[in-house]
Amino acid sequence: MSLREPQDRLNSAKAFCRKHGIPIKGIKPLRLRFNSLFRVPAEHLVLRVHNAATAFEDVKRELDIAQHLARNSVPTPAALKGAEDVYWSGMHFVTAWEYLQPGPAPEAPEGQFGDLLRQFYIAMESFEPPLPPFAPLKDALFQVRSLSIKPEARAFLEDAIATCVADLNFCTAADAMRPIHGDAHEGNVIWVGGTGFLIDFEAVSNGSIENDIAPMIITKRRFRPDLDLESFVARVAPRIDIGAIHPAIVRARELRMVVWLAKSAKGSDDLHTEFERRLENLSNQDNTAAWVPK
């Protein structure tokens, strides 16, 4: 992200507010990476300023999915009433969402998270617009080649991604293709009064539910060993055998996480150190080393 980009994104958020008569006073960033988030306290809103490279149809599909889920009683932040269409600021697409004040997660939230995903799957059975196929490593090679990393790190990631893509092409999913969340990790749930609200529908696509289980396998391996993975899978898809999930599905998720971290690490020693730690774990095929949440 250029030095100018954060200001450009703020200007896009303010342009949205002016268009819809929303007071700008007190607007503040919640996140400035990639798809930026700005809170507008006066209206209890969050504005999502999408990455400049994001296509209109992708932004509109995300909004359509959120509205479809809300109509089917799946807990998710509501789109701003009266501003449901995607707004173009001249630099970015902007969408507006109800602000939810995050509270503490319940003890052992994975069971409730599994129930929430199950609600998502049932609701998405009636979603009519076509969805793209799930592609966990889409554009990953291009992204790696644009990173400012050591040549040996780039060579390893390029080889690992190419190998993983080839493995994914030949592995057989245990579950039928269907709409999946595509980024189903605990960070994409906002807990309010003990109720989970599902967010971030950018990666929703047609794929196997195994791809939604993979992030939680990694969460247990790398971040939270006490996670009750069996309880989560029992709520999401009880017919799936965790041990039968192809390793390439989990590997693709880990590679995606490492590439994302490398993109975010510029200017941050802590993130760069964590990137190198994860890269070393992957190159040594260490599937149990703990990772620091970022």
Query: Which pLDDT value is given to residue 3?
Result: 45
Q: Scan for tokens 């999408």, then name that residue.
A: 50
Report d(CA 141, CA 158) in Å as an integer: 6
**pLDDT tens digits for the chain (294 residues)?**
454 678 899 999 999 999 888 888 889 999 887 789 999 988 889 999 998 788 899 999 999 999 999 999 999 998 876 556 789 998 999 999 999 999 999 988 999 999 999 999 999 999 998 999 999 998 999 999 999 899 999 999 999 999 999 999 887 665 678 999 999 999 999 999 989 999 999 999 999 999 999 999 999 999 999 999 999 999 999 999 999 899 999 999 999 999 999 988 877 888 889 999 999 999 998 888 889 876
Query: Which pLDDT value is given to residue 267?
Result: 75
Query: Which pLDDT value is given to residue 247?
Result: 94
Query: Which pLDDT value is given to residue 211?
Result: 96
Cβ-contact 240, 210 below 8 angstroms: yes
Compute φ and ψ for 179, nearest 5 degrees: -65, 130
Long-range Cβ pairs for the range 259-262 (8 Å, 24+): 259/140, 259/143, 259/144, 259/147, 259/157, 261/294, 262/144, 262/147, 262/149
Task: Indicate whether this model's pTM tops 0.85.
Answer: yes
Report d(CA 87, CA 57) in Å as an integer: 12
Q: Scan for tokens 């990137």, then name that residue.
A: 275
Report d(CA 128, CA 112) in Å as an integer: 27
